[in-house]
Every structure is written in structure tokens, then in C-alpha cells.
Amino acid sequence: MLRWKIAIQEYRGNMTIVDKDGNIHKNADGLRRWPLQNDIDNPAYVPEEASPQIPIEVISVTDLNTTFFEEVRNSYTQDTNCSILCQLLNKDCKENSLIHALDEVWKKSYDEGIFHLLDGIIYHRAMHTCVMKVVDRSLIKLVLKECHDSPFSGHLSEDRTREKVKTCIWWSMWKKDVAEYCKTCHRCQKANKSTGKSYRSYNACLVIVDRFSKTPIFFPCQKDDTAMDTALLICNRVVSWTGIFTNIISDRDLKLTSALWTNLHQLFGTKLSFSTAYHPQTDGLAERMIQTLEDM
């Protein structure tokens, strides 16, 4: 309502608001409809739960104590570029000897005004954020572990881990280190291990789940199999065991939307239901089984 009030402000004085009966415009009008009580006399009565579910939102907060920041400050003495930057930014001096002592990449960033000093900590400005500069490898490993291994991070992919890291700290070659950390994560490599070369050059798998018995059926196949190959596989290997299907829910693969497939199931009397693009929940039973199969 507030957005509507703002939108019609420019028309005030040049318009008249007229009340319109709900039975005229036919649209659902929540403002005109008197809400019905949720009692037994209401046809849409819904029994109230004895213990209603309360949604819980979890926020992950990592508390960095003063020791962490002190270690960051002390680590600058171990790095030549950071020591020079602290002198340049702390005194706000323009000594050419110190500026030329910086490495070329650091000198370019300093000239662009990317570095700032606050409470003895160097911050690196990137896009719309400003993150602290860290050089100590133990501190870098601690942040990487928090951004990738913690329960609230959930062993994210390399790209998503990189997005989390760049919002808190920065160091030279940080993208390379994030990629190396994700590639050497034992749990990630165990869950996303390569399956190796397939037997008899199979490069695809046909997954079928019986909704009645919840029995999964897997058949190795080729990605370039035709609609005829898929139809023969199902008729010879599945229909002979389960019988004619009453209903098939599938994605919109070209093999399953072809004229051959459609005409075949018209003869069988099978109803074909196709999921909408980017809505895998339509066939959630099969999609969840595929996820389980990939994790095996």
C-alpha cells in the first residue's frame, strides 16, 4: 500500500478515487473482503497446530579478538613492502626513496590510492569494500579455514569461497591460494572425486525411480543415444519388469519430447508430464536420487 501511495502522489489533484464493488471487477480484493474467522463453520477451516513451527534463521558470526589484529600488525615487520607502506601511510609522506623501494605492483596500487592505514592495519580498497591486508601465512590459513571448512560455509566451491574471502582479507596471490586450498581439501576431493574412464565408453546414465516402491533403476548409456535407443532400453529393460507406466515425469530432454516418444506412449496410454526449465523440484524424487548417485 505504501508503494501505491507513493506512486499516485504525482496525480493528486487531477484524479478522483471511486469505490468499486467487488462483484463488478471480479478480481480478488483483500482490502474489501471481510476476513472469515478460522472456525469450524468456515469451509476453509484449518486446524491450528498444537505446537506451531517457528522458523529459525541462523547467522554465523566470527569474533576476531584483539590478539588477531595484534598478530596482523606484527606480521607487517616481516614483509618489506608492508613495512614501507606503514611508513608512507602513517606519516602521509611522499618520500621518493620509500616509494621507489616498493615492488612494481605495490607501487602502482599505492599511486592509485588503494591502500589505507587504520589503527596500524593496512586496508586494501577493492570495489565497494575495504579489507585488511594480511601477510602471515598462519593467519591466512585461519581465514581460509573459516571461509571454507566451517559448518556455516559448508565446503563451498572455489568461486564461492573466493567471494567470501575477498570480503574480509587481501594478500598477494590470494586467488591462487584459495584455488590451491580448495583443491587440497580432503573432504571436497573425497566428495567430488573423479570417476575415471567409464566401462565400454558409457558417458551417461538413465535414472528411473518408481514412485510406488521408491526403487531406483540405473542404466548406463551414451549421451548421443537417439529417442529410439532410449525407447528400446526402457521397453526391453523396464516395462518388462514393472509393466506399462501410468504417468511419466521427466525433464525436457530432446529424446523425451520427440514425436517417437510421444506417439509410443499414446499407444501405451501413458501420460507424459514434463518439468519446467530450471525447476528440478518438479521431479524431486529422481533429482534427489541423481544427487545421491553422484555422491557415491
CA atoms within 13 A on the CB side of 204: 8
179-209 pLDDT, tens per residue?
A: 999 988 888 887 776 666 666 778 888 999 9
Is the model's pLDDT at 33 over the cut of 70? no
Residue 123's CB is within 10 A of a number of other CB atoms, namely 19
CA 45 → CA 29, 48, 52, 74, 124, distances in Å? 20, 9, 16, 67, 59
The pLDDT of residue 35 is: 65
Q: Name all contacts of 52-61 with Cβ < 8 Å and 24+ positions apart.
A: 58/152, 60/150, 60/152, 60/153
Is the model's pLDDT at 285 over the cut of 80? yes
Dist. CA 180–CA 77, nearest whole Å: 26
The pLDDT of residue 86 is: 85
Q: What is the mean pLDDT of residues 247-255?
A: 88
Q: For the ranges 124-138, 205-219, 263-277, which has the lowest average pLDDT?
A: 124-138
For the chain, what percent of residues have pLDDT higher than 70? 83
Is the model's pLDDT at 28 over the cut of 60? no
The pLDDT of residue 278 is: 81
The pLDDT of residue 6 is: 78
Of 138, 148, 140, 130, the residue nearest 171 (C-alpha): 140
93-146 pLDDT, tens per residue?
A: 667 788 888 888 888 888 888 888 888 888 887 766 677 777 778 888 888 888
What is the maximum span of the chain, computed from C-alpha positions, in angstroms? 87
Fold of 69-191: Endonuclease III; domain 1 (1.10.340)
Q: What is the mean pLDDT of residues 246-262?
A: 88
Residue 125's CB is within 10 A of a number of other CB atoms, namely 15
Supply the mean pLDDT for the chain: 80
The residue that leads in pLDDT, 32 or 216, is 216
Is the model's pLDDT at 51 over the cut of 70? no
3-state secondary structure of 131: strand
Given pLDDT bands bounded at 50, 70 and 90, which one contains residue 243? Answer: confident
Is the model's pLDDT at 69 over the cut of 60? yes
Same fold, 69-191 and 202-295: no
For the chain, what are the domain ranges?
A: 69-191, 202-295
Q: For the ranges 9-13, 106-110, 195-199, 215-219, which has the lowest average pLDDT?
A: 195-199
For the chain, what percent of residues have pLDDT higher than 90? 3
Fold of 202-295: Nucleotidyltransferase; domain 5 (3.30.420)
Dist. CA 87–CA 120, nearest whole Å: 10
